[in-house]
A and B are shown apart, each in its own frame.
Chain A
Amino acid sequence: EIKTKFPVARIKRIMQADEEVGKVAQVTPVAVSKALELFMIALVSGAAEKAREKGSKKVSAQHLKQVVEGDEQWDFLGEIVGRVGEGQDAGAGNGGERKRKGK
């Protein structure tokens, strides 16, 4: 489906940036690359959906954030998206729609 490919060498480097990670089989970064592609499709599509719901033509970081906050599967991204919206939405309707997930 997607023709553009990630640079496999770069993926391997990111993997090995973790000191705990040792050797990586030749096919492994290829597998990770595919996983990443599917991950991106999910996130981007999700964010696009959010944008459409809000009637916006531009998909923003906020929309990505909303996707992440809407599904436990993306919990590991919580910290990264948490930084979004700091000082941006000055008073813009944070309406009653926000669902807070209790832990």
Chain B
Amino acid sequence: MSDREFGGNDDLSLPKATVQKIVTEILPPSSGLVFGKDARDLLIECCVEFITLISSEANDISEKESKKTIACDHITKALEQLGFGAYVQEIMEVANEHKEQLKGREKKSNKLEQSGLSVDQLLAMQEEAFRDAAQRHG
């Protein structure tokens, strides 16, 4: 591990506050149980290990497919191979939602291009609309 690059950066861990919030959602006060600090810290280490394990496995899978980018499919295959196949369905749902969101954003920026009008024409239309409004309210 190179010290130069990460020099003392704790960033290869997960934010304690976030982890604690999630733990509290899983184990609310009504459960009558409290999650100790030692348990939380250990949990964080386990989480990082899990991410690392999945990434490594997914990376191997993507390489076998001669792909340079780790895709969602590689993650789900990795999970199945590692015995976490039960997670796949929910992950696919989340991933699909996210992809839909991404498409939505693209659509917005393309609206301009898809209108088939140049910026000048659009500006002219806007000025006309302003004049109309001014007349109506003037």
The main secondary structure of chain B at its interface with chain A is helix
Q: How close is A12's CB to chain B, nearest CB, in angstroms? A: 10
Query: Chain A: which residue is nearest B83 at the CB level?
Result: A73
The main secondary structure of chain A at its interface with chain B is helix
Which residues, 27 to 45 on A, are CB-close (under 8 Å) to B? 27-28, 30-32, 34-41, 43-45
Which residues, 46 to 90 on A, are CB-close (under 8 Å) to B? 47-48, 51-52, 57-61, 63-65, 68, 72-73, 76-77, 80-81, 84
The residue that A21 contacts in the complex, of B21, B70, B72, B83, with Cβ under 8 A, is B70
Q: How close is A48's CB to chain B, nearest CB, in angstroms? A: 5
Interface hub of A37, A59, A76, A80 (most chain B Cβ within 10 A): A59
**Chain A neighbourhood of B50, CB < 8 A:** 35-36, 39, 76-77
Given contacts A25-B69, A39-B47, A58 and B94 within 8 Å (CB-CB)? no
Query: Chain A: which residue is nearest B69 at the CB level?
Result: A23
The residue that B87 contacts in the complex, of A35, A48, A63, with Cβ under 8 A, is A35
A23 to B67, CA, bound (A): 10
The residue that B43 contacts in the complex, of A20, A25, A28, A40, with Cβ under 8 A, is A40
Interface hub of A43, A44, A48 (most chain B Cβ within 10 A): A44
Q: How many residues of B contact A (CB 8 A)?
A: 59
Binding site for A on B (CB under 8 A): 6, 11-12, 14-15, 18-19, 21-23, 25-27, 31-36, 38-39, 41-43, 45-56, 58-59, 68-72, 74-76, 79, 82-84, 86-87, 90-91, 94-95, 98-99, 102
Known pairs A20-B59, A27-B99. 20 more at Cβ < 8 A?
A2-B25, A3-B25, A14-B51, A17-B6, A22-B59, A22-B69, A23-B70, A27-B102, A32-B51, A35-B50, A36-B51, A37-B22, A40-B43, A48-B31, A57-B33, A58-B36, A59-B34, A61-B38, A72-B83, A81-B42
